Each structure stands twice: as C-alpha cells, then as structure tokens.
Amino acid sequence: MNKRQQIGFDHPVASDITPESVFRARRSFLGTAGVAALGGLLPAAQALAAQDGLAALPARLDPRDSTTEKPTPYSDVTTYNNFYEFGTSKSDPSRYAGSLRTRPWTVVVEGEVAKPRSFGIEDLLRLAPMEERIYRHRCVEAWSMVIPWIGYPLSQLLRQVQPTSKARYVEFVTLLDPAEMPGQNDAVLQWPYLEGLRMDEAMHPLALLTFGLYGKLLPNQNGAPVRMVLPWKYGFKSAKSIVRIRLVEKQPVTSWMRAVPNWYGFYSNVNPNVSPQNWSQAHERRIGQGSFGGLFTPQVPTRMFNGYGEQVAQLYKGMDLSKDF
Ligand SMILES: Nc1nc2c(c(=O)[nH]1)N[C@H]1C(S)=C(S)[C@@H](COP(=O)(O)O)O[C@H]1N2
Ligand SMILES: [Mo]
C-alpha cells in the first residue's frame, strides 16, 4: 500500500502534490465513485492551484471521448510547446507568456450569424457544463502528448449566435498585441495567428472550446484564457488565446498556409500516409514517457486522424486527402 492509499487521496502531504499525482488520485476517485459531478473543489486540486496561482476548474470526466493512455506529465505539457507569439523555441512560451493579461477578456463571435455577440470570459466559463477530455495531441513536428483538457464542444457556443445558411467555415483569430506578445515583433508568421475549420468540423462533438487542463485554468503558455483543441488534426490547427470567431462563406487562409503553402494545407488532418513537409509523419515521439527523464522518448506509429477515425472519418468521405491535406 502506498502513502496515498493510507492517507486517502484528499489529504496529500505537501511533498506528494505533483500535478500528475493529484490528477491520478482524482481519476481513481472518479473511477470508484462513478462519474459524479465534481461540484466543489477537491482539497488536493485547491492545494495544487495555490502552487502556481491557477484556479481549479471543476469538470466532469467524459469517459467516452477520453483515451485511457497515460497522460503526459503536467511539467512537460506546460513547458514544451509552440506559441510563436512568445518565440519559436519549445521553451519560449513557458518562459515568456507571463506578459499576457487574460482578464478582462472578450471573444467576439460574428459574421454569417443571426445574433452576433461578444462574450466576456466569465460568460464563456458559465455557458455550458465543463467536461474533462483526455485527448491525444499530435504536433506536425512529429512529437505527441496525452493531455487532460477541460472545456465544452464549440458547437455549444456557435448555436448561441445562430449561424446562417451562408456560414460554411469558421475562422479563429488570436489576440494581436505585440506588447503582451513580444514574438509578434518578428515576422515569422503573419499576425494575428489565424486558423480555420469547415463548419461541420467546427460543429463536431470532439472540437473542444478549451479553458483548462489538468483540473485547472489554462496556463498562459497553453492558450489562456480560451483556445481550441482538435485532436484529429495537427496541433497548429488548435488556435490559442482566441479573441474573435468569425463565421464565413469562403475558406479562410490560415497563418501557416500563408507562410508555407506547400507544407500546410487547410485541413491538416493527422495522416501518416501524407507528408507534404520534408520530414515523415509516419511516427511520433511521445514526450515525457521515455526513460532517463524523457531523454529516450519512445517512437510510436502515427495513426490516421490521430486515432479518431471512427468519429471523424465520415467528415471527409469522397475527398482525396492526399490533395486536401
Ligand atoms: N495562437 C497560436 N496558437 C497556436 C500556436 C501558435 O504559435 N500560436 N502553435 C500551435 C502549435 S504548432 C501547436 S503544436 C500547439 C502547441 O501548444 P499546446 O501543446 O498547448 O497545444 O498550439 C498551436 N496553437
Ligand atoms: Mo505544432
């Protein structure tokens, strides 16, 4: 019997509070108690939030859409990623995203909709029940993670504004503010960061409007206060720190399409059989799961649609995905 089992998951000793252990303890609680709504904050989650100043974000695990694979440690999820608004190296976002102010924050939802509206972040946090979804996450640079995100389907928000029959695509716009996002002083990409989806992709239940991870609000480097998560697409399709969602008739041109059009197409579905880039998409490195502190990261084969084909393949029926990459 380990220490946690002796003392109970909700009374951890200080040295025991690692984000992962808190998460695992809560998971086993959910496992035994059933998926009861996590009404209040669990003591362990409160302690954890105090550690890095992020508030806990209670959510109910969605076991149907969650993988049972081992989540990547919190320390890797929050220190190894891309957010070019803060620099181009993997450690830049965690180092420099502290300059981003996420309150107050509003998201404008406009375009081909009957009821355009701007939503304050507090409204968005209350709009629908929070769900925890443990998704695989695959970057086009051939590394991957398993991340317990918290949010609700984007469809819940889009329904509120009543899309018109002309709404065929959705465009996501990240904040433009070179003072808070110093990477925007470099012309590596055209700013603000733009991404897009077809309407049926945006309405798909897996398309998560995301506010948190590992039981808490998003750290800035992971796209606070609100971002998209699209587990069947390469990571760059999931725009962070969104301020505008525009419903449009024509397919938007995204930042990455504009920067390197022959590498990055509009769809960008995870596809091990198509590598428009000059490197292979057939395998991926699972960050944080190797021996010797992740030095020898295991290579795993990449799956079509990142393993979500059963849910999303029908969206692309009749399309030639080697052309529409
Ligand atoms: N606004 C913005 N969103 C972005 C990016 C970015 O540079 N700017 N990078 C993308 C890429 S390439 C990846 S892999 C993921 C990485 O961050 P995450 O691990 O928090 O999802 O964010 C995506 N969203
Ligand atoms: Mo990426």
Ligand 2 centre and the CA of 140: distance in Å?
5
* Ligand (nearest to CA of 256): 1
CA 302 from chain centre, in angstroms, equals 19
* Ligand (nearest to CA of 288): 1
Does 29 or 10 have the greater pLDDT score? 29
Q: Which atom of ligand 1 is nearest to the CA of 84?
A: 7
Question: Which stretches of the chain are assigned E, i.e. beta strand?
Answer: 60-61, 106-111, 117-120, 131-138, 143-153, 169-174, 194-198, 208-213, 216-217, 227-229, 242-248, 283-286, 299-301
Please work out whether the CB of residue 172 comes within 6 Å of at least one atom of ligand 1: no
C-alpha–C-alpha distance, residues 101 and 27, integer Å: 31
What is the band of 10 on the pLDDT scale with cuts at 50, 70, 90? Answer: very low
Ligand 1 centre and the CA of 67: distance in Å?
21
How far are the Cα atoms of 102, 111, 213, 220, 228 from residue 78, in angstroms, in the given order?
17, 33, 10, 9, 16
What is the band of 289 on the pLDDT scale with cuts at 50, 70, 90? Answer: confident
- pTM of the prediction? 0.87
Please work out whether the CB of residue 154 comes within 6 Å of at least one atom of ligand 1: no
Please work out whether the CB of residue 149 comes within 6 Å of at least one atom of ligand 1: no
- The pLDDT score that the predictor gives to residue 235 is 98
Q: Which residues pair with 269 in a beta bridge?
A: 233
- The pLDDT score that the predictor gives to residue 41 is 43
Domains and CATH numbers, the chain: 3-17+55-261 (3.90.420.10)
What is the band of 290 on the pLDDT scale with cuts at 50, 70, 90? Answer: confident
- The pLDDT score that the predictor gives to residue 297 is 86
What is the band of 294 on the pLDDT scale with cuts at 50, 70, 90? Answer: low
pLDDT tens digits for range 220-256: 999 999 999 999 999 999 999 999 999 999 999 999 9
Does 289 or 76 have the greater pLDDT score? 76
Burial code of 262-287, b = ≥16 C-beta within 10 A, e = fewer? ebbbbbbbbbbebebeeeebeebbbb
Position 265: which residue type? G
